[in-house]
């Protein structure tokens, strides 16, 4: 079983749509959680950290469920510029190495 | 404030040659990480360094690969006697080490082994 699992997609949505991505992780001792985005195999860019209380940044909302080992990302009012691969990323306890999911590809269409 | 810098951006080597990849962390960051992304695959952790110390090299191949982060100058990832399977994008990230776990990535070096 992979340490971080994501649906690879692609998710094809029209502009203005709301889209949700899910991710599960296997290590219950994981301590930090992030969403990154990666465009056309350029460098990953940090989108947001994810906290148990949930957090929001503009059109983006992230949730963490430690009991279910589940992380989600919600994007509201999708823009063409949101088209990218979204990476679910986990950091284990006592280590600073990031473990990446294989990514979920989003294509927003006009 | 300059971000993480990596050079070269593209590197072509023939089998058996050495590849040297350089990474300068963001200003104020003392922790450096190297990740590798093989074609059509996700990013994989290789090594975590602080100045003059390797903290975690659990992701490094046992042979031909080495990394350093000297007191002065950039971090270096060295690959000796490259093989075709080393062709990949190598990303460096940095973090301040205190105050948060977020890592910020450089633009990467794309290594092609002929």
Q: What band does B1 get if pLDDT is binned at 50, 70 and 90? A: low
Distance from C-alpha of A40 to C-alpha of A57, rounded to nearest angstrom: 23
Distance from C-alpha of B13 to C-alpha of B22, rounded to nearest angstrom: 15
Interface probe for B, chosen from A98, A99, A100 (most Cβ of B below 10 Å), is A98
Residue B68, both tokens: 């350093």
Number of Cβ within a 10 Å radius of residue A83: 19
Distance from C-alpha of B14 to C-alpha of B8, rounded to nearest angstrom: 16
B90–A contact, CB cutoff 8 A: no
Tell me how far apart the terminal alpha carbons of chain B are, to the nearest angstrom: 37
B37–A contact, CB cutoff 8 A: yes
Q: For residue A91, give the nearest of B41, B101, B108 by CB distance.
A: B101
Distance from C-alpha of B91 to C-alpha of B26, rounded to nearest angstrom: 14
Is B94 strand, coil or helix?
strand
Using CB atoms within 10 Å of the CB of residue A49, give its burial: 0 to 12 exposed, 13 to 18 middle, 19+ buried.
middle
Q: pLDDT 10s per residue in chain A (110 long)?
A: 789 999 988 999 999 999 999 999 999 888 899 999 999 879 999 999 998 888 999 999 999 999 999 999 999 999 999 999 999 999 987 788 999 999 999 999 99
């Amino acid at each position: 079983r992979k340490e971080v699992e994501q649906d690879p997609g692609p998710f094809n949505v029209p502009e203005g749509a709301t889209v949700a991505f899910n991710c599960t992780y296997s290590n219950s001792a994981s301590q930090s959680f992030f969403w990154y985005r990666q465009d056309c195999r350029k460098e990953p860019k940090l989108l947001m950290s994810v906290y148990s209380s949930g957090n929001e940044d503009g059109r983006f909302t992230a949730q963490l469920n430690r009991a279910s080992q589940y992380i989600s990302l919600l994007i509201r009012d999708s823009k063409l510029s949101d088209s990218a691969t979204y990476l679910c990323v986990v950091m284990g306890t006592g280590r600073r190495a990031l473990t990446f999911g294989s990514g979920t590809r989003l294509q927003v269409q006009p | 404030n300059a971000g993480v810098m990596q050079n070269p951006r593209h590197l072509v080597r023939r089998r058996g040659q050495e590849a040297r990849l350089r990474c300068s962390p963001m200003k104020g960051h003392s922790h450096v990480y190297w990740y590798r992304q093989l074609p059509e695959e996700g990013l994989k952790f290789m090594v975590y360094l602080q100045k003059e110390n390797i903290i975690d090299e659990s992701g490094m191949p046992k042979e031909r690969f080495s990394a350093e982060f000297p007191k002065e100058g950039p971090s270096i990832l060295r690959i000796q006697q490259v093989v075709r399977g080393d062709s990949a994008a190598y990303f460096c990230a940095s973090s301040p080490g205190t105050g948060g776990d977020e890592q910020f990535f450089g633009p990467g070096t794309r290594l092609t082994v002929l």
